[in-house]
Amino acid sequence: MSPTTIAKAINEGLRAALERDPKVLIMGEDVGKLGGVFRVTDGLQKDFGEDRVIDTPLAESGIVGTAIGLALRGYRPVCEIQFDGFIYPAYDQIVSQLAKMANRSRGKIALPVVVRVPFGGGIGAVEHHSESPEAYFAHTAGLRVVSCSNPADAYWMIRQAIAADDPVLFFEPKRRYWEKGDLDAAAGPQLGLHQARVVRPGEHVTVAAYGPMVKTALDAAVAAEPDGTSLEVVDLRTLSPLDLETLEASVERTRRLVVVHEAPVFLGLGAEIAARITERCFYALEAPVLRVGGFHAPYPASRLEDDYLPDLDRVLEAVDRSLAF
Amino acid sequence: MTDTPVGAPPQLVQLLTPEGERVRHPEYAFEPDPQTLRSLYRDLVLVRRVDTEATALQRQGELGIWASLLGQEAAQIGSGRALRPQDYVFPTYREHGVAWCRDVDPVTLLGLYRGANLGGWDPNAHNFHLYTIVIGAQTLHATGYAMGIQRDGAVGTGDGTRDAAVIAYFGDGATSQGDVNESFVYASVYNAPVVFFCQNNQWAISEPNERQSRIPLYQRARGFGFPGVRVDGNDVLAVYAVTKAALDRARRGEGPMFIEAFTYRMGAHTTSDDPTRYRISAEVEEWKHKDPIARLKALLSRGGMAGADFFDEVERDADDLAAHVRQSCLSMPDPDPDDMFAFVYHEPQPLVQEERSWFAEYQAGFAPADAAEPARDDLAGTTQGGAR
């Protein structure tokens, strides 16, 4: 067991996958010599060669489209989309081709393609570098969508995603890439890819989050403690499918739920979770499920992003509203 | 490859004129024996007959829609016959002739157009991918597949049974798509063994070539760094020769090539289209004189390579095939509603499982609870005192 960062943990997960299975490929813009703009693929091309760690032309539809072709030939490509806002040129290939091929072929074709997406804001970037497009993909049948929040999960989840026979959209919390945590690669994964985790037990309100907002939720829980408010924090980890059982069990105890994400609230993951938890826990709930997230406005210029992004105070404001019911 | 000066008629590889005369070309040659010529003729006639039958089935309400290949038989049979078993095909939704060359039963093609499935054949059993409907998307899949062939070391080894190539089909309209242009870039920089086969049938639904390009399409290739050639798409011999050369070249590891098969869509874009709204009949009449089947028939007849017996036999085979297609279409079972859920994911997915069970239960709720219960009509009769 040693402390490592999320970026390094994904790097080690990719390395392990490349070592284990000669069919695993890495492809994307600047993933080779440079090691990716976030260095997540650092050193992989040097060790596995240009045929397996592929610097692609600057065309995202081409990255995913050729990954589909490689998967049809029996490969397991892991694509990197350099930034969240650059995934849209690949949208058709992901939604109309990657997601639908298994169904179209009546199960004769499997496309074990992973699309890695550094997502979310908080890094002071220019436009298109801070978005949270996960709901578009969670809305699409045929895709699996997950997001990691700590180094150990990052390592195991990327390996589980690569091993899956279905396409997986893998959202990485880019502003947390350098956060440290313990990783024991010899111990094996504690959870399946599609299981949520209670990361902090509590009594009064459940706060569900994923990716970069898990840390924010945990910070909120620490801040609420002196006031005698005990928050239970659930790291959703999996966005499609959702692990509603874990969430339901938590809400049955706390009877209150706040869902937090950076993505806009309107039609975000929180909307679906609110609807489903309300159906499942109607008689247990003491308050409506509340949502904290981005506004129905384009991601702002970076000097405003602290106002746009949910933070500790916005989470606690929602917690207070929930408790006031 | 030489450039065409602006304003000059583009070069066109032709080995058989519309009148059925053999002509020579300095770069491409194909000297098939009479038996090969007859079998090419047979394929052309059979796929046209299947196409006619499918159009009729649509008119009779048995297919929701059909995309006719009428006029493009030579482009498809010529290129399809040039393939080796290990090569892989990425078609659009109109490659019925190529499907024929890959031993896909024409009936199987109808499932998509009847609404019985989304593509009914096993791609890997035929090395013929499912039809792709989003224009041009398949060219990237073809290029990626070709990159896989490179990584498998199945290119440039000199082993004729091992070295493989990919052929990507698309139309003139697709050349405007980003995906097609991206596939050219990827194929070029990786030197991937893929042949881009563009059937320029002059029309993208209602839009003529002038809305897609200011230069002949085959000349686009040069800018991407690989050769392009325009071939008479209604000349099955020239199409075969050019495609074979391009596939051989790709298998040798010499990279991609672009073929523009210059042809004409004799029918509508699909059965839902009405070409009289946007093109003049004189143009169609002009292309009738360039018919791919008539010219091969003229060559066979004039050369004494086939007589009435042969042509009659092919017609009979075509009618038999059409009858098989019709019968099988009419008896094609409707899909099981459970199919909606069965193949969405390979591995179990709880939401799909939940909705699948719910829907099965919901549907079961419509089954009659007790078969012995009188039907509504009978009850109506009794309450009205037998007034019926």
Domains of chain A by residue range? 2-183, 197-324
* Residue A290 reports pLDDT greater than 70: yes
**Of A128, A129, A204, A261, which one is the catalytic site residue?**
A129
Instruction: Show residues of chain A in contact with B344, CB under 8 Å.
Output: 102-103, 141-142
Token match 């018919």: residue?
A: B291
Half-sphere exposure of B26 (CA within 13 A, CB side): 3
Q: What is the pLDDT of residue B169?
A: 98
Of the three residues B288, B310, B330, the one that is the final residue of a domain is B330
Q: Is B192 in the same domain as B228?
A: yes
Give the tokens for residue B125.
Answer: 């059993």
Asked if A120 and A130 count as a contact pair (C-beta separation under 8 A), the reply is yes
Say which CATH number the domain at B133 has: 3.40.50.970
If asked whether residues B112 and B62 sit together in one domain, one would say yes
Q: Within this chain, do residues B247 and B297 fall inside the same structural domain, yes or no? A: yes
CB contact under 8 A, A73 and B129: no
Token match 């939604």: residue?
Answer: A95
Q: Which fold has domain A2-183?
A: Rossmann fold (3.40.50)
Q: Is the domain of B90 the same as that of B215?
A: yes
Question: Chain A contact for B152, CB < 8 A?
Answer: yes
Mean pLDDT computed over A84-90: 98
The C-alpha atoms of residue B377 and residue A49 are separated, in whole angstroms, by: 76
* Residue B118, φ and ψ in degrees, nearest 5: -110, 10
- Note whether residue B81 is domain-resident: yes
**Rounded average pLDDT over A282-297:** 98
Between CA B374 and CA B204 the distance in angstroms is 58
CATH fold group of domain A197-324: Rossmann fold (3.40.50)
Instruction: Confirm whether A2-183 and A197-324 share one CATH topology.
Output: yes
Q: For residue B374, what are the domain limits?
A: 339-383
Other Cβ atoms within 10 Å of A39 Cβ, number = 14
DSSP state letter for B200: E
Residues B180 and B277 in one domain: yes
Query: Hey, is B194 helix, strand or coil?
Result: strand
Q: Report the alpha-carbon distance of residue A308 to residue B4 in Å, rounded.
A: 57
ipTM of the complex: 0.97
**Distance in Å from the first CA to the final CA of chain A:** 44
* B293 and B354 within one domain: no
Q: Among residues 2-31 of chain B, which lie with CB inside 8 Å of chain A?
A: none
**Residue B351, in any domain of the structure:** yes
> What are B88's strand-pairing partners?
B166
Residue A2: what pLDDT? 81
* C-alpha distance from B94 to closest chain A C-alpha (Å): 17
Task: Assess if residue B54 is contained within a domain.
Answer: yes
Query: Which residue in the set A70, A104, A242 is minimally distant from B144, CB to CB?
Result: A70
Query: What pLDDT shows up at residue B372?
Result: 55
Residues B47 and B117 in one domain: yes
Give how many domains chain B has, as a whole number: 2
Q: What pLDDT does B382 receive? A: 41
Q: What percent of chain A has pLDDT over 90?
A: 98
Per-residue HEC secondary structure of chain A comes to: CEEEEHHHHHHHHHHHHHHHCCCEEEEECCCCCCCCCCCCCCCHHHHHCCCCEEECCCCHHHHHHHHHHHHHCCCEEEEECCCHHHCHHHHHHHHHHHCCHHHHCCCCCCCCCEEEEEECCCCCCCCCCCCCCHHHHHCCCCCEEEECCCHHHHHHHHHHHHHCCCCEEEEEEHHHCCCEEEECCCCCCCCCCCCCEEEECCCCEEEEECCCHHHHHHHHHHHHHHHCCCEEEEECCEEECECHHHHHHHHHHHCCEEEEEEEECCCCHHHHHHHHHHHHHCCCCCCCCEEEEECCCCCCCHHHHHHHCCCHHHHHHHHHHHHHC
Say if residue B311 is in the same domain as residue B358: no
**Closest Cβ opposite residue A69 in set B118, B147, B344:** B147
d(CA B152, CA B158): 14
pLDDT tens for chain B, residues 1 to 388: 445 455 455 589 999 999 999 999 999 999 999 999 999 999 999 999 999 999 999 999 999 999 999 999 999 999 999 999 999 999 999 999 999 999 999 999 999 999 999 998 999 999 999 999 999 999 999 999 999 999 999 999 999 999 999 999 999 999 999 999 999 999 999 999 999 999 999 999 999 999 999 999 999 999 999 999 999 999 999 999 999 999 999 999 999 999 999 999 999 999 999 999 999 999 999 999 999 999 999 999 999 999 999 999 999 999 999 999 999 999 999 999 999 999 999 999 999 999 999 999 999 999 876 655 555 554 444 434 333 3
Q: Which residues of A touch B349 (CB under 8 A)?
A: 144, 166, 241
Is the Cβ pair A65, B143 closer than 8 Å? Answer: yes
Residues B325 and B347 in one domain: no
Q: Is residue B27 part of a domain?
A: no
Q: Enumerate the β-bridge partners of residue A24.
A: A76
Query: What's the token pair of residue B247?
Result: 């596939």
**Last residue in a domain, options B292, B312, B330:** B330
DSSP-derived secondary structure letter, A242: B
CB neighbours of residue B326 within 10 Å: 18
Residue A250 CB partners (closer than 8 Å, separation 6+): A198, A206, A208, A232, A234, A257
What is d(CA B216, CA B223) in angstroms, rounded to the nearest whole number? 12
Query: What is d(CA B328, CA B344) in angstroms, rounded to the nearest whole number?
Result: 27
A73 contacts B152? CB cut-off 8 A: yes
pTM of the model: 0.95
Q: Which amino acid is at A120?
A: G
B346/A165 touch (CB, cutoff 8 Å), yes or no:
yes
Specify which residues B194 forms β-bridges with.
Answer: B166
Please name the member of B123, B139, B349 whose beta carbon is closest to the beta carbon of A105: B123
Same domain, B352 and B259: no
- Asked if A105 contacts B130 with a C-beta cutoff of 8 angstroms, the reply is yes
Question: Is B29 a member of any domain?
Answer: no
Residues of B acting as catalytic residues: 265, 269, 278
Q: Is residue B20 domain-resident?
A: no
CA distance A61 to chain B (A): 7
User: Looking at the structure, do residues B325 and B379 belong to the same domain, yes or no?
Assistant: no
Tell me which residue of A74, A58, A83, A81 sits closest to A25, measured CA to CA. Answer: A74
Q: How many interchain CB pairs under 8 A, A with B?
A: 140
Q: What tokens does B369 get?
A: 């609870």
- Identify whether residues B347 and B312 lie together within a single domain: no
- Residue A13 pLDDT > 90: yes
Query: Which whole number is the average pLDDT over A274-294?
Result: 98
**Listed residue (A297, A225, A281) closest to A249, CA to CA:** A281
Q: Which of B112, B141, B356 best probes binding to A when mutated, by most A CB atoms within 10 angstroms?
A: B141
Nearest Cα of chain B lies from the Cα of A182 at a distance, in angstroms, of 30
- Kindly identify which residue of chain B lies nearest to residue A60, measuring between CA atoms: B182
Give the chain A residue whose CA is nearest to the CA of B183: A62
